Copies of this chain bind each other. A is one copy, B any other.
Amino acid sequence: MLTQEELFGKCPYATSQKILSGKWALIILFHLRDHKYRFNELQKALPDITQTTLTKQLRTLEAYGMITRTVYPQIPPKVEYELSALGNDFSAVLDSLEAWGNKYIEHQQHLSHLPMPQNDFR
């Protein structure tokens, strides 16, 4: 029997899980669906992400073929990130995710407590 890792590229859910597991993956894809972003612009758009982390996330998404990275060989450097074809297809997921997320938020408003973080079983 295959492990979940080996299901990458075979099962759509295992595949999606790996690609989206990054803490910033969804928000980056959401921003990039509108237009291209330069590295600096992206960092400003994401409130509290460091350079190192943003670089890692972008490289990961690029490795998965979700985004493209264009380097303009000039001084000062200019690098633009945009969605690949596969990344553009992801817009449908973002739409349903946004719709569901908003409904989730709305329905959780009247709850007295927010969910506890994982591994917290009080």
The chain A residues found within 8 Å of chain B, CB to CB, are: 1-4, 8-17, 19-27, 30, 46-49, 56, 59-60, 63-65, 85-86, 89-90, 92-105, 107-108, 111, 114-116, 118-119, 121
Q: Using Cβ atoms and an 8 Å threshold, which residues of chain B touch A89? A: 100, 103-104
For A46, what are the chain B residues with a Cβ–Cβ distance below 8 Å? 4
With a cutoff of 8 Å between Cβ atoms, the chain B residues found around residue A59 in the complex are 118, 121
Pairwise interchain contact B96-A92, C-beta atoms closer than 8 A: yes
Taken together, the copies of this chain in the complex come to 2
Report chain B residues within 8 Å CB of A1.
47-48
CB distance A56 to B9 under 8 Å?
Answer: no
* Smallest CB separation, A83 vs chain B (Å): 13
Known contacts being A4-B48, A100-B16, A102-B12, is A115 close to B65, with CB within 8 Å? Answer: yes
By the criterion CB–CB under 8 Å, are B12 and A101 in contact? yes
CA distance A24 to B3 in the complex (A): 12
Are the C-beta atoms of A100 and B47 separated by less than 8 Å? no
